[in-house]
Structure 1
């Protein structure tokens, strides 16, 4: 079995979809699947690149920039045609949203193959950028043509599937396969999750901004992440301090807000950090928070990272988002209304005042990750869908037997 994945970007480009897609490709390669990935180089990279990583043949098309989040890459359709000819895939796995995936609609060679569309997120129509909403009228016909042509569609959670206007006409072929992450890096796997004081990490590069409750947030500094709400909640909880990892277009505004609120001494804007520093931050934190305010937050892979690290989590109850699907409210974390700084502050205080509750939530969260959201579980379910699309002689020798249609409906589509 040979599968060509078509993505938007690829690590080290920062992003949850990018990291997951790379990890999934590596996990499938470990299951005797021949895997290639076609994506774009980072915006502004005008040279194409090809390399092999973790058993995956990676091909990155030159990218001159982005227009309303869409990569500008004139060479992408030519590279797609070349890879279909040279790699000879048995099927295409298209990660959406990604305007460049639309080129498959115009490729006779691509249209002769089975397609699996991985629906990571809708194009959000409630975003603040009016141009995005205006351009969707042009985007939607291609989006629907792609979904119509797909043999199978993966949604990452049942709530997202059930509230997606784009997926509504295609529910009969849409299967729920939650995202998953692997084990912690070996270098950090022996570290026990415990209450670690900041002075014990003086030799490390992660610097907590105070000695109170250590609150961690990780993600791109974009408006829909709700970090302005988190800062306002922090102003109401003087017993807490915040380490905010990530960069983005809202960074300067958030720093200005921290100064305005008088909490700049309790907030550390760490920017981008490497994997070792990120693992250290998860190990030392006491509470994790993802305060997103819009359905643009489709799943929240960072919630899985926090749960894996036995951290209690606080997230928001956005209708149709997968966050409420990932977090078991009152068992592995707390869910609060989006945009409500007072409710968020109350959740922070509740966890800050109760070490036993933090430990209970952390243990339950890690157990929930292991039972539902591991990378192995996700890769096995994706491989099941591949096998259902291909004749037996094209399946990898290591593939598990394909489940019956009844089992597939109850397992894959049931969430």
Structure 2
């Protein structure tokens, strides 16, 4: 490759089965990837499902182009949309004709990602495939007995290997996720590559004074879904000593929100648990900054961008000892792990951190912030650029 070719802008097609306004880690990564690559001068196109009923179309305006495919709602999910192959295959092919991408980056092995990958392979276009999902993430939305869900999960793993095995490079956010893909999807070469975070975006601004209430706050951010186990956190808050007056702030929406509200009322926490719903980026930043501690009780996290965001705001963390979350904790330094589903242990850890002198909590927060440095979004974008151009291979260490 010549020097000029190595520096020339690329036309990048990002295929995502979930994308904003959806609220989840995969959607946010797709958005940040598009934003970052566009800022680096590349011609970026995103292909994602239509957010409502209607024909496929291209969104007007924007720094990059977003193409929406005809999609259909899912009865068991409040916003997820699926695309039927017989409705999108031809439109994907026509989009390739118009866009003429140099590289395709798929974010999933399901509908949009799968058929975009097939079209790229057929045309000899370089493909990078990133996996953000564990098949078990689908369990809460499958109205079937567990034995049948297990069959679905095994088939999904097999499909992941079959589809992503055709890509030139396969990545996933953490080494643990890569190991799972080796073992269950039989993908031999998977590059662990952090989703990346712009840590500076969550810091206090020069001269800014953060207004904090006179009571401690434990914060949760994320989709209110079964696998997030926010009910465990609510139980833990109820078990903390009354004199701490610990409050819980919950940011996000989802199918279990009514049950969580009912649980808080039943436990007498109505005035200490605030459901803030979906918030904008500035409100989210301030929530991280005013929190005393951040908690992620979920058991199906491939990386947990919201935990990285909280750590960027110099917040101590309490994380379930499951999936990739242990990679984000140095026990006793920036927070603690707790046994999944164990609200009593979580309550003890909450009490322990909140009872610390403020100076010691600040040291824990500073350790969180320092640990985020290795997850720099700039490093992630640079690595993906190298992968797009074929300058880095999945067997290399990042």
Structure 2 length-normalised TM: 0.86
Local SS of the residue matching 1:153: strand
Q: Is the 8 A contact 1:287 1:312 kept in 2?
A: yes
Local SS of the residue matching 1:343: helix
- Could you say which residue in structure 2 is the equivalent of 1:197? 212
Matched, 1:359 2:355: no
Question: Which of residues 12, 30, 41 is equivalent to 1:21?
Answer: 30
* C-alpha separation in 2, matches of 1:259 and 1:290: 21
Q: Is the 8 A contact 1:193 1:309 kept in 2?
A: no
Cα 1:186–1:164 shift into 2, 3 Å: closer
* C-alpha separation in 1, matches of 2:123 and 2:270: 55
- Could you say which residue in structure 2 is the equivalent of 1:285? 291
- Could you say which residue in structure 2 is the equivalent of 1:399? none
Alignment of 1:15-164 (within 5 A): 15-42=24-51, 44-51=52-59, 55-66=63-74, 71-74=81-84, 75-104=87-116, 107=119, 110-124=122-136, 127=139, 129=142, 130=144, 132-136=149-153, 139-164=156-181
Cα 1:317–1:82 shift into 2, 3 Å: same
Cα distance, 1:301 vs. partner? 0.5
Cα 1:259–1:108 shift into 2, 3 Å: closer
Matched, 1:301 2:305: yes
Cα distance, 1:264 vs. partner? 1.7
Q: Which runs of 5+ in 2 are unaligned?
A: 1-9
Per-residue deviation, residues 269-316 of structure 1 (Å, max 9, x unmatched): 111122222122112111111111x3x222111001101111111111
Q: Is the 8 A contact 2:218 2:249 kept in 1?
A: yes
Local SS of the residue matching 1:170: coil
Q: Is the 8 A contact 1:81 1:109 kept in 2?
A: no
Q: Is the 8 A contact 2:181 2:187 kept in 1?
A: no
* C-alpha separation in 2, matches of 1:136 and 1:111: 31
* C-alpha separation in 2, matches of 1:312 and 1:162: 28
Aligned length: 376
* C-alpha separation in 2, matches of 1:301 and 1:140: 23
Cα distance, 1:383 vs. partner? 1.1
* C-alpha separation in 2, matches of 1:337 and 1:387: 43
Cα 1:290–1:138 shift into 2, 3 Å: closer
Cα distance, 1:216 vs. partner? 0.9
* C-alpha separation in 2, matches of 1:192 and 1:29: 30
Q: What's the RMSD between the two structures over aligned residues?
A: 2.6
Alignment of 1:220-369 (within 5 A): 220-237=223-240, 238=242, 239=244, 240-292=246-298, 294=299, 296-318=300-322, 321-354=323-356, 355-369=358-372
Q: Is the 8 A contact 1:102 1:142 kept in 2?
A: no
Q: Is the 8 A contact 1:193 1:310 kept in 2?
A: no
